[in-house]
Every structure is written in C-alpha cells, then in structure tokens.
Structure 1
Amino acid sequence: MPSVVGLLEQHELAARRRVDGLRKEADRIQAELAAAEQEWQEWAIAASHS
C-alpha cells in the first residue's frame, strides 16, 4: 500500500508537470498572438495608405 506522503508527492509532481506544460503552451500562444497582431497592424497600415 502506498504511503500518504508518497501519494502526495506523486500528485505534486503531476501538478507541477501540468503547470509547466501549460506555461509553455501559454508562451507559445502569446508569441503567435503577437505575430498575428503585428501582421494585422501592417496590413491595416498598408490598406490605409492605398
């Protein structure tokens, strides 16, 4: 039978891995959003000068 401490450590490790994965995903999405916003602004500037 696993100990309570062992189960808590497993839960903490799983939670930490999930947080790390979500942070990486959030960073990727923020970078993608920044690139899309830049592209949109460049298009809007070009369209306004046409």
Structure 2
Amino acid sequence: MSKFEMLKKLEYLVAFQTNCLEKGDWDDFDRLQDSIKKLEANILHHVGE
C-alpha cells in the first residue's frame, strides 16, 4: 500500500470513528481506534524509507 493510500485510509477511519462517537457506538469506536493506531505506526514506519 502506498503512503497516499494509507493516508486516505486513515482519513476514512477517522471520519467513520467520529460518526461512531456521535452515535454512541463504543464497540466500533474502540475497534477503529486499534486500526487507526496500527495504521499510524505503519505510516510512521514508511516515512523513514
């Protein structure tokens, strides 16, 4: 996955997480938080390449 694709995915996940927050859907909110953390780590790892 390219850096651009990872950033677009991160943007989507954050927007979806915001929607979950507004609805009070805490299960999906927590799952998304884990996915966001992993994706952020991958993005930071690729920055050094």
TM-score by length of 2: 0.49
Rg larger in structure: 1
